[in-house]
Structure 1
Amino acid sequence: MSTEWDKLEEARDVMESAIAQSMVIYGVTPSVGRIYGILYFANEPLSIDDITVQVAMSKASVSNGLRELIETEMVTKVWKKGERKDHFIAEKDFLRNFLHYFVKKIRQERNLLMKAAEQTKPTIQEIAQHTTDEHIENTAKQDLALIKEAQNYLDWTTRLANALESKEILDYVPPKNEE
């Protein structure tokens, strides 16, 4: 028969697994999600060795996963008095994690597409203005219109990222606070 502690650990396992699975939706591997889930429910900072035992992964895999989580600011490396090993804690504010993640991804997308648009637009404009082939001219003009639409979209996503980062978005879609 299970003790209350065993039941509590089973419930935590279910939540840790759900967190890991939900992170897959956002492009995070299940193993990295599992590391985050373990840290999320940890009552104290954990070392790589502690995490390795709980997730049954290699130390190198845990280290790589922690690096990824630190880069996204979902995990922080902390100093633990009397210990030489690094320890880690999870950022437990899901809203903050969500906002930070999407701002980062939106800005990455914008940078990638804006760079491509800035690189290709002058060439396409040159072709549209100087070609004698009507089909090429029409195609180039269509491409310029598509690039303009993409730039309008990127302008909107930049404003969205700014509203997420400043938390202005919460004025329009506030989180539910239950007390």
Structure 2
Amino acid sequence: MPETDAQRLQEARDVMISAIAQSMVAYGVTPSVGRIYAVLYFAEAPMTLDDIKDEVAMSKASVSTGIRELMDTGMVVKVWKKGDRKDHYIAERDFFQNFLSFMVKMLRLERGVLYKAVEQVEPQMRDLADNAADSETREIAAKDAELVNGSKAYLTWIMRLANAMESGDIFAHFPRPESDEGSAGRES
């Protein structure tokens, strides 16, 4: 029995859904959460948790957790649908925006963790470099303090990078391809 055009289209979509899910692993997203995003990416209309659950063959609780994760990165947004009390979700279809939102979040997280550690250890290392009882500890502490101090330039740089991504200034250095090349996502 020959395949229908609708079946061929669904097979093509399934290949892309699988590829999107697998590619999101590079960003620390599980394939199951990637599948949720990919299903929403191809959805013709906003979907409820139940709709998504049926498409990805996951529990409603797992879908709900995945949706929250995707909402935290801005890849999925909740929308209101007139006449329906259930929450509905749509995907951000602009891959550039998804990438930037995710990277800004990760860069700010990295900076926050490292900056807090620098603030905590730098005074202690400086004190040990100046006042440790033995010269070997003073020498090691001085070297470590310089390494920690050197990380401040990196922290400043990643903050500038995150700000350039968030503002869109990054595109002055790395322009988006023209949308007629088919590389920009369609609007939501």
**TM value normalised by structure 1:** 0.97
Q: CA–CA distance in 2 between the matches of 1:129 and 1:48?
A: 60
Distance in 2, matches of 1:36 and 1:178, equals 21
Give the CA deviation at 1:132: 3.6
Distance 1:25 1:93 in 2: 18
Q: How does 1:101-140 map to 2 (within 5 A)?
A: 101-140=102-141
Equivalent position SS for 2:81: coil
Q: Distance in 1 between matches of 2:92 and 2:47?
A: 13
Q: How many residues align?
A: 179
**Letter aligned with residue 26 of structure 2:** I
1:53-110 alpha-carbon deviations (Å, 9 max, x no partner): 1100001000110011111111111111221211110000110111111111101000
The amino acid across from 1:9 in the alignment is Q
- SS at 1:83 equivalent: coil
Query: In percent, how many aligned pairs have the same letter?
Result: 54
Q: Residues of 2 paired with 1:71 and 1:159: CA distance?
A: 22
Map of 1:16 onto structure 2: 17
Alpha-carbon RMSD: 0.9
In 2: Cα distance, 1:51 partner to 1:159 partner: 38
Give the partner amino acid of 1:176. Answer: P
Counterpart code for 2:131: H
C-alpha deviation, 1:178, in angstroms: 4.1
Q: Any runs of at least 4 consecutive aligned residues in structure 1 with deviations exceeding 4 A, and if so which?
A: none
Q: Deviations over 1:114-152 (max 9, x none)?
A: 001101111111111112411111100110111012111
Q: TM-score, normalised by structure 2?
A: 0.93
User: Could you tell me which amino acid in structure 2 is paired with residue 95 of structure 1?
Assistant: F
SS at match of 1:46: coil
Paired letter, 1:55? V
* In 1: Cα distance, 2:109 partner to 2:127 partner: 28
1:30 equivalent to 2:31? Answer yes
Partner residue of 2:158? 157
Aligned counterparts of 1:142 and 1:48: Cα–Cα separation in 2:
54
3-state DSSP class of the match of 1:88? Answer: strand
Q: How far apart, CA to CA, are the structure 2 residues paired with 1:37 and 1:115?
A: 36
Matched-pair contact (CA < 8 Å) for 2:130–2:138: yes
The answer as to 2:65 corresponding to 1:64 is yes
Show structure 2 runs of 5+ residues with no match: 181-188
C-alpha separation in 1, matches of 2:83 and 2:142: 67
Contact 2:122 2:149 (C-alpha < 8 Å) held by counterparts: no
- Classify the secondary structure of the residue corresponding to 1:176: coil
Once residues 9 and 167 of structure 1 are traced to their aligned partners in structure 2, the CA distance between those partners, rounded to angstroms, is 35
In structure 1, stretches of 5+ residues that fail to align are none
Check whether the contact 2:48–2:87 (CA below 8 A) recurs between aligned residues: yes
Amino acid at match of 1:173: F
